[in-house]
Amino acid sequence: MNRSIVCAMLLLGFLSLSMQPSLAAEDNSKEAEESQKVTGKESEAHKKDESEQSRETFTVSSGPLKIEESLDGRFVATERAEISLWPESWSDFKIKDVVEHGAEVQKGETLFQFEDKDLNKAIADLDLELHLGELKINRMEQALPRQERSLKRTLANAEEALKRAKEDYERYQETEREQAIDSANMNLKMAKFNLDYYKDELEQLEKMYEADDLTEETEEIVLRRQKFMVEYGEFNYELSKHYHDRTLNVSIPRSDRDMKESLDQAEDRVESAELANQIDVSTARYELEKLKSARKASLDKHVKLLADRDLMAITSPLAGVVYYGDASDGKWSKIATQKQKLLPGKSADKQTVLLTVLDTTKLQVMTLLDEKLRISLKKGEKVEIQPAAQGSKALAGKVASISAMPVADGKFEALFDLTTNDLPEWLVPGMSCKVEVVTYQNEDALLVPKKAIHDDESKDKKYVWTVEDDKPVKTWVETGREKGDKVEITSGLSTGDVVSLDDEKQEE
């Protein structure tokens, strides 16, 4: 047994001696491998250190973001009354007396007194014109029915005269004309017959007296008488010829013309009467309506002049301070001009603001808000108001209102209430100030430098290079507000993310 143990021990010793070179070589190989690994790690570490030293990075963290804007403002009165002239009819408003610029007035106190002498005379003249117009209308209203009746009678008479003229003309043409000619012929014929008769009878008497034994004296009487009858017959015959010629050549043609003229005149009178009934009555009615219309216009003017007379003395509708002119965007640029115009003896402008009465104890601030800030301000948001006066303290305020529509190109009117209780006595409308407003605030905003953000124009998106395992990774982001060189990230990054500030696109 001891021999077996000794043999075993010898065998083990031999084997040990034979394996030593192999184990040494294996150890050397392992050492070389370990050395190479260490050397590789040192090389990688060296490269990593070099990479980190060449890349500029930024670690994303959350923090407060507050964006403020400073607006130019003007103090304005919340209660004011603009005084202007809007007369109904009168045009001459010559100033008799006017309150001074900057004067304190009470409600109901006189601001303007105008000369009213000419206006009162115009009202009196118009009163007289109205009375006369009323009398003319009454007279015409009474005369119009009589005129209508008279025109109807005239027409009826003309129609009756025309009827008679036609009858006379027809009778003349049918009988009287021929009768007149026949009568002239007969008269001439009768005169000739009588002459011949007288001559024959004289001739017979002369023969008879020559044969009888009558005395000379009796014969002469009879013959003388008969001779006279012959002489008369000759005269009458000549006269009848004259009458006959006159009747045929003068009287009958004249009667023809006269009868035709009488008929034409009768027809003309009827037409005139008919026209008068149609036109004269209508004309009279129109003239009556014209008078009534003129009277109505005079009455309207009278009412307007009476209303304008109330403008001869203008009183203040509220207690306050007088400012000449009116404000534009809170600025009183017309004071100097109005001081030259609002003087006694000068005529006041119409349909324009002459002066304004302001309650200087109730103030607001007005600004013109740029359209880019329109949705940044909300009603009720707090603001800080700093008057322009040196040494003045800032005042607290809040957004009162923002106009729904632009008041100028790209501008909205914003009004701010003053929440400070005690306002300085020297603070008055028209003074300027700065309004500090917070347009955006985020207590946990993620901010990165502007140069970390890049634009992908092809996709219309923005991205950053995040660094992961020392490698840049393109990461899409959405941005919000900007302040200085920082940009708010609203989507795509988280706190602790590392972003590269280099242009990794060129190194990629």
Instruction: Summarize pLDDT for 450-466 with one digit per residue, the tens.
Output: 999 998 888 889 999 99
For residue 484, give the DSSP letter: T
Residue 7's pLDDT band (boundaries 50, 70, 90)?
very low
**380-398: burial string, b at 16+ Cβ within 10 Å, e else:** eeebebebeeeeeeebebe
Residue 235 lies in a domain: yes
Q: What is the pLDDT of residue 278?
A: 86
Q: What is the pLDDT of residue 46?
A: 43
Residue 471 lies in a domain: no
Say whether 154 sits in a helix, a strand or coil.
helix
pLDDT digits over 80-119, tens only?
999 999 999 999 999 999 999 999 999 999 999 999 999 9
Residues 11 and 159 in one domain: no
Residue 343 lies in a domain: no
Mean per-residue pLDDT of the chain = 86
Domain end marker among 254, 283, 307: 307
Domain end marker among 273, 307, 341: 307
Residue 268 lies in a domain: yes
Residue 215's pLDDT band (boundaries 50, 70, 90)?
low
Radius of gyration from C-alpha coordinates of the chain = 66
Residue 226's pLDDT band (boundaries 50, 70, 90)?
confident
Say whether 448 sits in a helix, a strand or coil.
strand
pTM above the 0.85 mark?
no
Residues 146 and 284 in one domain: yes
Residue 214's pLDDT band (boundaries 50, 70, 90)?
low
Residues 50 and 123 in one domain: no
| Structure tokens belonging to residue 356 | 């304004």
Mean pLDDT of 10-34: 44
Q: What is the pLDDT of residue 341?
A: 94
pLDDT above 70 coverage of the chain, percent: 88
Gap between the Cα atoms of 324 and 308, Å rounded: 22
Gap between the Cα atoms of 479 and 459, Å rounded: 15
Residue 280 lies in a domain: yes
Domain end marker among 14, 35, 54: 54
Residue 231 lies in a domain: yes
Residues 34 and 154 in one domain: no
Gap between the Cα atoms of 320 and 154, Å rounded: 77
Residue 53's pLDDT band (boundaries 50, 70, 90)?
low
Q: What is the pLDDT of residue 51?
A: 47
Residue 344 lies in a domain: no
Q: What is the pLDDT of residue 213?
A: 58
pLDDT digits over 131-185, tens only?
999 999 999 999 989 988 998 999 899 999 999 999 999 998 999 899 999 999 9
Residue 222 predicted with pLDDT over 90 = no
More confident residue, 18 or 102: 102
Question: For residue 83, what are the contacts with CB-CB under 8 A and spacing of at least 6?
Answer: 111, 112, 314, 316, 353, 354, 355, 356, 357
410 backbone φψ class: left, alpha, beta (φ>0; ψ -120 to 50): left
CATH number, residue 293: 1.10.287
Say whether 31 sits in a helix, a strand or coil.
helix
pLDDT digits over 353-408, tens only?
999 999 999 999 999 999 998 888 889 999 999 999 999 999 999 999 999 999 99
Q: What is the pLDDT of residue 1?
A: 40
For residue 187, give the DSSP letter: H
Residues 171 and 278 in one domain: yes
Question: How many domains are there within the chain?
Answer: 2
Contact 280, 78 (CB under 8 A): no
User: 35 is in which domain, residue-wise?
Assistant: 2-54
Residue 480 lies in a domain: no
